[in-house]
Amino acid sequence: MNDDTGLRDFIDRHGRLFVLTGAGCSTGSGIPDYRDAEGQWKRAQPMTFQAFMGGHRARQRYWARSLIGWRSFGRVRPNRTHEALARLEAQGRSEMLLTQNVDRLHQAAGSRAVVDLHGRLDRVRCMGCEARFPREGVQEWLVALNPSWATREAERAPDGDADLDGADFGGFDVPPCPRCGGVLKPDVVFFGETVPAERVDAARRALERSDAMLVVGSSLMVFSGFRFVQAAARAGLPIAAVNLGRTRADDLLTLKVERPCAEALSFLL
């Protein structure tokens, strides 16, 4: 039995799938991922919550890179992987789609029952008064305050970031919350930050209703995603994964498909 038949059978046999997705779903949309086939970091580790909240200089660096990165990130479109998973939901076969991605491309492709485990990059949150602002509007504030940065070019990096190593961020003007003057932070879960409990609970309840788990495009190196695979394994659910390269859960998998996500799921379209 080859991988293709195996995955098709797996999906045919289980009508209430709990789907967990990661960066591998979005590389086909031009968003780079963090890790190589061995699950190791390809680049400098992303900014931590502690560094971001701990200092103005870290926030200058973050928002300068984000100003440039957003220009392309804000325009990305879903690809055939997102479309295939939206189709799976439309067929009534997907109990929930839990994504580690912050790009909202599953929703853009038509998936409805989605939990954004790590938040969403198209929104900005005030850490003082909890107000939320659309990222697109914050882009206008950033550009108005820093016109000379708006035309700079840099290579695209994961999560709407841009590679600007060696630049001097000292003169970058970071906008405060217009309501309370507090610190603005993208509404995503940074490394070192806790995932909100209500998101985890919603996903756990969906997992309890499911009869199998399907992992798509994740090496599961981040514990917040991996723990759902552990929970599925403890509950005795069969687990299939589509991922190029090693995953942290290889020894828990019923079926492993090492092919590009869009190719492996193309039978759904």
Tell me if 129 contacts Zn ion by CB under 5 A.
yes
Q: What is the DSSP letter of 191?
A: B
Closest approach, Cβ 129 to Zn ion, in A, equals 3
In order of 102, 232, 239, the CA distances from 217 in angstroms are 14, 18, 14
**Residue 118 structure tokens:** 């790590």
CB 7 within 8 Å of CB 255: yes
Which part of the chain contacts Zn ion (CB under 5 A), choosing from 45-53, 121-129, 167-175, 229-237?
121-129
Tell me if 23 contacts Zn ion by CB under 5 A.
no
Tokens 């995932």: give the residue.
195
Rounded distance, CA 61 to CA 82, Å?
32
Report the residue from 46, 128, 175, 245 that binds Zn ion according to the rule CB under 5 A.
128
Tell me if 182 contacts Zn ion by CB under 5 A.
yes
Tell me if 175 contacts Zn ion by CB under 5 A.
no
Is 82 one of the catalytic residues? Answer: no
Closest approach, Cβ 187 to Zn ion, in A, equals 13
Tell me if 180 contacts Zn ion by CB under 5 A.
yes
Which part of the chain contacts Zn ion (CB under 5 A), choosing from 29-37, 54-62, 124-132, 203-211?
124-132
CB 228 within 8 Å of CB 241: no
Number of residues that bind Zn ion (CB under 5 A): 8
State which residue, 182 or 245, has the beta carbon closest to Zn ion.
182
Contact track, Zn ion, 133-172, x by CB under 5 A: ----------------------------------------
Tell me if 189 contacts Zn ion by CB under 5 A.
no
State which residue, 58 or 131, has the beta carbon closest to Zn ion.
131
End-to-end CA distance of the chain: 21
Rounded distance, CA 64 to CA 61, Å?
5
Which part of the chain contacts Zn ion (CB under 5 A), choosing from 33-41, 59-67, 139-147, 173-181?
173-181
**Residue 260 structure tokens:** 């590009």
Rounded distance, CA 72 to CA 192, Å?
26
Closest approach, Cβ 185 to Zn ion, in A, equals 11
Strand order across the 255-257 sheet: 114-116, 94-99, 17-21, 212-216, 239-242, 255-257
CA atoms within 13 A on the CB side of 205: 7
Report the residue from 126, 213, 237, 249 that binds Zn ion according to the rule CB under 5 A.
126
> Where along the sequence are the contacts to Zn ion (CB under 5 A)?
126, 128-129, 131, 177, 179-180, 182
Enzyme catalytic residues: 118
